[in-house]
Structure 1
Amino acid sequence: MMLEPLLIVELGILGLATGFLAGLLGIGGGMLLVPFLTYILGLQKVGPGLAVKMAIATSMATIMFTSISSVRAHHRRGAVRWDIVRRLAPGIVAGGLVASLGVFALLKGAFLAIFFGLFVSFSATQMFLDKKPAPSRQMPGTAGQLTAGGVIGFLSGLVGAGGGFVSVPFMTWCNVAIHNAVATSAALGFPIALANVVGYAIGGQSVADLPPASFGYIWLPALAVIATCSVLTAPLGARAAHQLPVKQLKRIFASLLFGLAAYMLWKGVAAL
């Protein structure tokens, strides 16, 4: 399927922006991608419910590329807590497969859009209020982190984001420094994306009315353009993340999420 030149430019700009945000905030760019891709797919005559599902799946697929690019930049600065990555990752993979292979296909696109909006609003509120954790609170043990990883992977699979909207607040709540939390979230983006993309590709094989050049729920032309552009700016975002003060970083994160949550709530309600 050949894309119109203007659409290629739009997807390219979206890729540049999401790559930068992936590096800056450790959110994988999904919170920005899902609303915009939902809108773009609607313009391609894809039905509202299917558009939301394809936006979520395509967004998640791009995170495989942006996470690698941004985590390399964070790792060079010694910011990634690999001990946390090792304990959260197994649960993340299991939770992601359950969401993308099973629950995702059963839910209507309108309900997924509303869930996206509500959950992101909650995450943004927690981050914006910037509540201080108890000084004695630490990351839970191995079993606790496996469970937390399962929840992060499952929720990520339902909303098409790299998990930063859950993992960053969770880690800062456990007294992990914000810059370490953002860097570690970027590293977690790859196992989250890989597990969910496998599920979206398999679960969408029998779906009717998919646009040309789709692989399950994944829209390959958009994936190619966005991923190519996003890997260019993810390291720039990672660099900026180490130069911004903690409170400003949290406020940027929260303000972005509020606006996108409102849009997806509107899309979900309109599609009911």
Structure 2
Amino acid sequence: MFAGIPIGDLVFLAVSLIVAGAFTGVLAGLFGVGGGAVIVPVLYEVFRVIGVPEEVRMPLCVGTSLAIIIPTSIRSFNAHRAKGLVDLDILKVWAVPVVLGVLLGSYVARFAPPDLFKIVFVVVAVASAMRLLFASDRWQLGSEMPGRPLMTVYGGIIGVLSALMGIGGGQLSSLFMTFYGRPIHQAVATSSGLGVLISIPGALGFIYAGWPKMDLLPPLSLGYVSFIGFLLFIPTSIWTAPIGARLAHRLSKRKLEVAFGLFLLVIASRFLWSLLV
């Protein structure tokens, strides 16, 4: 036993997190996301096996994901910025509303039922996938990015939903940018910059949100952040993020859209199943 965890479960947890970390890093660079869309479902299965109660399992996955996203997002953003495709003007407009949205989402997490996190994940993932797989460039709200007031609203929405999903905002911000005619490669690159703005306040907010449930959380947790998950994911995810970024710039626009769309459907299906059974 180690801190209340059987040795066999501890080995399973460590190996699963290391392997998943490598996969997460590739996807972070490939899709411009912090990796949360992979981290959350992986952690959900791992924590289920080691017996984390259902009541706290999903928010623990989300909070840990936000903590893990901090270094992977920095690595992914730097890799994309080196390619010259990041639109810093958009990031400056979104910075404040995104952070405020994250703080609001983290506060909601303190009182939200576990299924809320799954429902948000499924709805956003399916909507994003449908647009990527079937609408291509036909779903557009305009040919230019909107003015600051509407961009501020979008930023707040991205922040709230990202906090509840445990993602770095890349999935949502990429969706908004392509709605306004931005190429998918530029959307992916720019979206990678939101990861730090979302993950740092989000992780702190989930530590606060989970504080009243410490008696239900597994050892080595601080609120809804698992430090063993945080520490084991980081090394391989940081190492593999540039690989994904290089791959993204080699793929055609349509191949990148289809790959991202199919990936989102797989993840959404898993959580939808857990809601229904």
- The interval holding the TM-score normalised by the smaller chain is over 0.9
1:21 to 2, 27, 34: 27
Structure 1 letter corresponding to 2:233: I
Query: Counterpart in 1 of 2:112?
Result: 107
DSSP-derived class of the 1:99 partner: helix
Query: Counterpart in 2 of 1:180?
Result: 186
Distance across 1 between alignment mates of 2:101 and 2:141:
30
**Contact 1:114/1:269 (8 A) holds in 2:** no
Structure 2 letter corresponding to 1:180: Q
Q: TM-score, normalised by structure 1?
A: 0.94
Distance across 1 between alignment mates of 2:57 and 2:140:
42
Instruction: Give a deviation string over 1:48-107, Cα, whole Å, max 9, x none.
Output: 231111111111111111100111111111111111111111110000000112x11221
Go from structure 1 to structure 2 and tell me whether the alpha carbon gap of 1:136 and 1:98 turns closer, same or farther (over 3 Å shift): closer
Deviation at 1:199, TM superposition (A): 0.8
Instruction: Give a deviation string over 1:219-243, Cα, whole Å, max 9, x none.
Output: 1101111012100011111111111
Q: Within 5 A, what are the aligned runs for 1:164-175?
A: 164-175=170-181
Query: Counterpart in 1 of 2:218?
Result: 211
Distance across 2 between alignment mates of 1:194 and 1:146:
20
Go from structure 1 to structure 2 and tell me whether the alpha carbon gap of 1:177 and 1:204 turns closer, same or farther (over 3 Å shift): same
Residue 53 of structure 2 corresponds to residue 50 of structure 1: no
| Residue correspondences, number | 269
Where does the alignment leave 5 or more consecutive residues of structure 2 unmatched? none
2:241 to 228, 234, 241: 234
Go from structure 1 to structure 2 and tell me whether the alpha carbon gap of 1:134 and 1:35 turns closer, same or farther (over 3 Å shift): closer
Structure 2 letter corresponding to 1:122: A
Q: Within 5 A, what are the aligned runs for 1:191-210?
A: 191-207=197-213, 208-210=215-217
2:76 to 39, 55, 70: 70
Go from structure 1 to structure 2 and tell me whether the alpha carbon gap of 1:198 and 1:135 turns closer, same or farther (over 3 Å shift): closer
Residue 245 of structure 2 corresponds to residue 249 of structure 1: no
Instruction: Give a deviation string over 1:233-272, Cα, whole Å, max 9, x none.
Output: 11111111111000000000000000110101112333xx
DSSP-derived class of the 1:107 partner: coil
Residue 137 of structure 2 corresponds to residue 131 of structure 1: yes
Structure 2 letter corresponding to 1:114: I
Q: Name the % identity.
A: 35
Distance across 1 between alignment mates of 2:88 and 2:267:
30
Distance across 1 between alignment mates of 2:265 and 2:207:
30
The alignment's C-alpha RMSD in Å is 1.5
Go from structure 1 to structure 2 and tell me whether the alpha carbon gap of 1:134 and 1:92 turns closer, same or farther (over 3 Å shift): closer
Query: Counterpart in 1 of 2:269?
Result: 262
Distance across 1 between alignment mates of 2:173 and 2:184:
11
Go from structure 1 to structure 2 and tell me whether the alpha carbon gap of 1:56 and 1:135 turns closer, same or farther (over 3 Å shift): closer
Distance across 2 between alignment mates of 1:40 and 1:76:
35
Where does the alignment leave 5 or more consecutive residues of structure 1 unmatched? none
Of 105-114 and 189-198, the range deviating more from structure 2: 105-114
Distance across 2 between alignment mates of 1:196 and 1:34:
14
Deviation at 1:145, TM superposition (A): 1.4
Structure 2 letter corresponding to 1:175: G
Deviation at 1:138, TM superposition (A): 0.9
Q: TM-score, normalised by structure 2?
A: 0.93
Distance across 1 between alignment mates of 2:140 and 2:99:
30
2:90 to 84, 93, 99: 84
Q: Within 5 A, what are the aligned runs for 1:34-49?
A: 34-49=40-55
Distance across 2 between alignment mates of 1:237 and 1:219:
26
Deviation at 1:133, TM superposition (A): 5.0
